[in-house]
Homo-oligomer: A and B are copies of this chain.
Amino acid sequence: MRKWLLILLMPALAARADEGMWLFNQPPRAMLRQRYQFDATDAWLDHLQKSAIRFNSGGSGSFISADGLLISNHHVGADALQKLSTPQKNYVRDGFYARSPAQEIKCLDLELNVLQSIQDVTPRVNAAIPKDASASAAFAARRRIIAEIEKESLDQTGLRSDVVTLWQGGAFHLYRYKRYTDVRLVFAPEQQMAFFGGDPDNFEFPRHDLDICLFRAYENGHPARIQNFLRFSPGGPREDDLVFVAGHPASTSRLLTVAELTALRDHALPFRLTKLNRLEVLLIAWSARSEENARRAREALFGVANSRKALDGRLAGLLDPALMNAKMKAEADFKAQLAAAPEGSAALAAYDKIAGATKILGGQSVAYNLFENAQGFTSECFHLARTLLRAGDERSKANGERLREFSDSGRLSLELGLFSEKPIYPDLEILTLGDSLTFLAGQMGGDDPLVKQILDGQSPRQRARQLIDSTRVREVAFRRGLYQGGATAVAAAHDPMIELARLVDARSRALRKEFETQTEAKQQAHAAIAGARNALLGTNDYPDATFTLRLAIGAVKGYQDNGQAVPPFTTFGTLLAKAAAMKNRPPFDLTPLWQKRESRVNSKTPLNFVSTDDIIGGNSGSPVVNREGEFVGIIFDGNLPSLPWDYAYSDEQGRAISVDSAAIVEALGRIYGAKDLQKELLTGRSPR
């Protein structure tokens, strides 16, 4: 029986292992002092915060030199690598090394964010919501005030300004970021070495991956001058060391009610897995047809398989009675406390409101996923077409009335994506669009009137071919023209893909409106619960992850598995031994370069290590730092028992997995001959 820690019932400061994705403006100083005799000073926190990077493509990273050098995972950088690749240069598979500054390649649409400040704007947001407003009116009012705060902040500071919803609606904080959009690729290993062991070893430990990728931030055409960067530890951490993780966990669901978790378990996760399994089979089969197909689908296939294995693990967590029973017991106990408390009745009623909203959302979730989440239209072209269509409609509205992604404060990021020169492959587009239209028809029924209009008298594959062959949204100049021309230009283009997006837009928007209304209702209910929890249990806690900067705290520690001790470190030696034991067969093969140079590395150098830091997807690429704030490793995964951390943390077996900083130094020098990069890591200055 696994012990699951449930923050819901944990009084502050109780011994609660290393759970927590802490806000940088509400760090657990007392706990750190008590448990680890560590004093987290403002300066220490500020330096770490400003060294940490968010990859807007999904992931984390950190600055490691004063000259803009930064590090993340290969699998975070793979999106950029894929977009830069050509039939002649497969950077994802073969890696990349810029031997001189001139060879550093500019990424096509990569945006990095560095958090400058956090401001609690909860009172201002809540004050703007009329009393007794319907959920729909409350949502509109909240959207308006958030857009206003963001725009005001952007105008005042020039910084990217996002109001973040915390505690499922219990608080609203304004996050201001410095943006970097001239980001250049400096170094990537071959994917096989970054992802040695492939899908079989993904989310497993022991592990042997050099999952790193180096970029350099530029400003005004020159390497950015960076004040806050992490000093690189050439030796890495030791067993039992206290290590921190500063990164951007994308989302967790620990505060969800049992009703919400049940809906995830029985509907949302099985549906997502159905789509992912389907897409994985489709991409595997297509990739097997030719080397060029495999190159084109490479990053998409990695992403799909990675998500599939992660969701399998999460679903297994929800299907583990130990976890779910603990959740039910915790909720029942807290409700009993509420029932006994004078101020508890609103929070008690909130549970029913959440259950009611969850039921409504469940009733429309398949359609919502197919239409608004566009899972029935899996193609880049459809996304571009819909963005153009909606940009035309939304941008003429007042800032506070628009769909969130079209607000003034997000304009630059929206345009970066919309005008990206990334390659779009018609054959792959036809494949995924045709398959997703088939999925749509299967889910909605072939006689559904909207499905019939979508297919327009053709089979899904014929229709996909026709759409992709005839749309012009693949052309960046065409997109720019329509975006600048607004709704009139969009309508005048009569582009078939845009017209398809228009055909389904009423349905999509109706589904989204209901989604937003019910989400607002849930947020208000969660806010009531959060208020009662803080009153009853104290406020020293952390909210669910929201792809914003968090601090995790843990120690380098092995664990027991089936009665066997799993030590916390692997080494270059265990990597070579594993490849040999598997006869160098994929996915356990060393690349030719590694085969040639394997004797150069010290077999005792640590390669990967595990720690008890509380992380989740989005933390990939997060720096791991020691007490001195030195970079000792980089998060790239969690093990299988960590996957249910989406719902509850347990350090019985769950672990974060990192590449050791010692391995990075050694591989750059001895395998890749990148002495200048090695030097830049160790000195914090580019020798170039």
| Chain A interface (Cβ < 8 Å from any Cβ of B) | 198-200, 262, 265-266, 269-270, 273-274, 277-278, 280-281, 284-286, 288-291, 305, 308-309, 312, 315-316, 318-322, 324, 438-439, 441-443, 445-447, 455, 457-462, 582-583, 585-587
Contacts and interface: CB of A to CB of B under 8 A. Distances in A.
Contact of A321 (B290, B321, B458): B458
A312 B281 CA distance: 12
B266 A277 contact: no
A315 B278 contact: no
The 7 closest A-B pairs by CB, nearest first: A270-B442, A320-B459, A200-B289, A277-B277, A266-B445, A277-B278, A277-B281
B458 A316 contact: no
A281 B308 CA distance: 9
Contact of A459 (B199, B319, B582, B586): B319
A312 to B, nearest CB: 8
A262 B446 contact: yes
A288 B442 contact: no
Contacts of A439: 270
A439 B273 CA distance: 10
29 contacts: A198-B288, A199-B285, A200-B285, A200-B286, A200-B289, A262-B446, A262-B447, A266-B442, A266-B446, A269-B442, A270-B439, A273-B278, A277-B278, A284-B284, A285-B305, A285-B309, A312-B438, A315-B438, A316-B438, A316-B460, A316-B461, A318-B446, A319-B438, A319-B446, A319-B459, A320-B459, A321-B455, A321-B457, A322-B459
A273 B586 CA distance: 28
A260 to B, nearest CB: 14
Contacts of A324: 446
A450 B439 CA distance: 30
Given A274-B274, A281-B308, A446-B262, A587 B288 contact: yes
Nearest to A290: B582
B319 A585 contact: no
A265 B446 CA distance: 7
A237 to B, nearest CB: 30
Number of identical protomers: 2
A319 B288 contact: no
A281 B202 CA distance: 14
Contact of A319 (B269, B273, B441, B582): B441
A261 to B, nearest CB: 10
Contacts of A262: 446-447
A316 B439 CA distance: 11
Contacts of A284: 284
A200 B281 contact: no
A576 B459 CA distance: 36
A297 to B, nearest CB: 13
Most buried by B among A319, A322, A455, A462: A319
Nearest to A323: B459
Contacts of A270: 439, 442-443
A286 B201 CA distance: 11
B199 A288 contact: yes
Most buried by B among A278, A315, A316, A439: A278
Nearest to A293: B200
Contacts of A462: 320
A207 to B, nearest CB: 14
Contacts of A320: 459, 462
A270 B200 CA distance: 28
A153 B582 CA distance: 57
Nearest to A456: B321
Most buried by B among A262, A309, A442, A461: A442
Nearest to A321: B457
Given A200-B286, A270-B439, 14 more contacts: A262-B446, A262-B447, A266-B441, A266-B442, A269-B442, A274-B274, A274-B277, A280-B281, A291-B585, A315-B438, A316-B461, A319-B446, A321-B458, A321-B459
Contacts of A443: 270
A222 B273 CA distance: 53
A200 B289 CA distance: 5
A319 B457 CA distance: 10
Contacts of A459: 316, 319-322
A290 to B, nearest CB: 7
